Structure 1
């Protein structure tokens, strides 16, 4: 679970930045700007960072501030699951990434698998929707909804890792490599195997 103070700071930040977008009164704008700055100072103190670094991590905040969406694919074959090795930390995760505008969640997921592992897949079902802050991922100043899909291959082509990753390979559930936990945790993979074995299970929704 995310630290409660971080959750509060993120919520204040989102409310302040949304308020800045909609407000028309000069005095209200000053109050929202102060709240926004204070929220960044809070997050900086909690993460031993500078407010400027927090602002950079948050990026431009225009319009109504909403959670980001991360999509992940679970491709299981012969009792093993497909993972890709991240360039940023050398650790492994389920193929996936930010959902892109104009592309459906399922198509985003299939596109990520193609770009990162070089194979064509189709989505079979959604097995989990997680609010990142409620689970054992590292703290993050951004708020995420994480969508996990079971996928199946459409061809028998060999894995061909893309430029975004270092490698791609299949792993047994009892022999997983070090995971890139900002992106996927052990439970995400455990649930993928459970849903693969019992497709009738209800989707996990936070």
Structure 2
């Protein structure tokens, strides 16, 4: 499942508003006191109103996107699979923005990390693959991605094709191998050129330890 709910927000206060929403979500989950619950709901209204002032989305839309689930607020997990063949990298073109990325998306409940990335590769490219190495676990906020409503961690795996053939999907309308020196326009909310280059180094150096923030 790709990161399809892409609510990008151009604001210097995004981290603060995101923190307010997370605290309110967790507070609503834990407190039984209605007075406190009213205060948390008011904080949600204030945070989404501030975000809406610097976003093309309404406060109501921001609230509905954030509160797709309840309970204690935690970072979302995005998995990406890096596959190289003859010094070329496998990329997919996302239908949502027409730009290219390493195949991947949000990890599903009950999936292990390696199965999640293998499933994403098959769904988006038609190839079956095996995850052979966890190369990096990055904090999305620290790696030159555009501002985003949710806090997310990104797990990058080095993978190898085991079968199948290239095909598109309802999420992707292009599947191709590209030279590292001639990358197409990238969907930088998903993968950056610097990350692809770093994954190539991990592909060449399988004994390197995984990187993490």
Superposition TM-score tier, normalisation by shorter sequence: over 0.9
**Aligned-partner Cα distance in 2 for 1:48–1:152:** 40
**Aligned-partner Cα distance in 1 for 2:28–2:156:** 33
Instruction: Kindly indicate whether residue 113 of structure 2 is the aligned counterpart of residue 105 of structure 1.
Output: yes
**Aligned-partner Cα distance in 1 for 2:67–2:177:** 35
Residues paired across the two proteins, number: 204
User: Structure 1 segments of 4 or more deviating over 6 A?
Assistant: none
TM-score (norm 2): 0.90
* Partner in structure 1 of residue 63 of structure 2: 55
**Aligned-partner Cα distance in 2 for 1:188–1:196:** 12
Kept in 2: contact 1:43–1:141 (CA 8 A) = no
Kept in 2: contact 1:72–1:149 (CA 8 A) = yes
Tell me whether 72-81 or 4-13 shows the greater mean CA deviation. 4-13
Which digits, 9 at most, give the CA deviation of each residue in 1:34-86, with x for residues without a partner? Answer: 11111112222233532112113213241111111111100001000100010
Kept in 1: contact 2:99–2:187 (CA 8 A) = yes
- 2:166 corresponds, among 139, 145, 159, to 159
Give the drift of 1:3: 6.0
Which digits, 9 at most, give the CA deviation of each residue in 1:7-51, with x for residues without a partner? Answer: 111011100111011111121111111111111122222335321
Which digits, 9 at most, give the CA deviation of each residue in 1:164-197, with x for residues without a partner? Answer: 2101000011000000111111122011111112
How does 1:1-206 map onto structure 2 within 5 Å? 5-155=13-163, 157-206=164-213
Unaligned runs of 5+ in 1: none
**Aligned-partner Cα distance in 2 for 1:3–1:202:** 35
1:29–1:158 Cα change, 3 Å: closer
Kept in 1: contact 2:11–2:54 (CA 8 A) = no
SS at structure 2 position matched to 1:12: helix
**Aligned-partner Cα distance in 2 for 1:121–1:39:** 42
Kept in 1: contact 2:95–2:172 (CA 8 A) = yes
**Aligned-partner Cα distance in 1 for 2:193–2:111:** 28
**Aligned-partner Cα distance in 1 for 2:84–2:145:** 23
**Aligned-partner Cα distance in 1 for 2:12–2:69:** 22
**Aligned-partner Cα distance in 1 for 2:36–2:42:** 10
| CA RMSD in angstroms, aligned pairs only | 1.5
**Aligned-partner Cα distance in 1 for 2:22–2:156:** 25
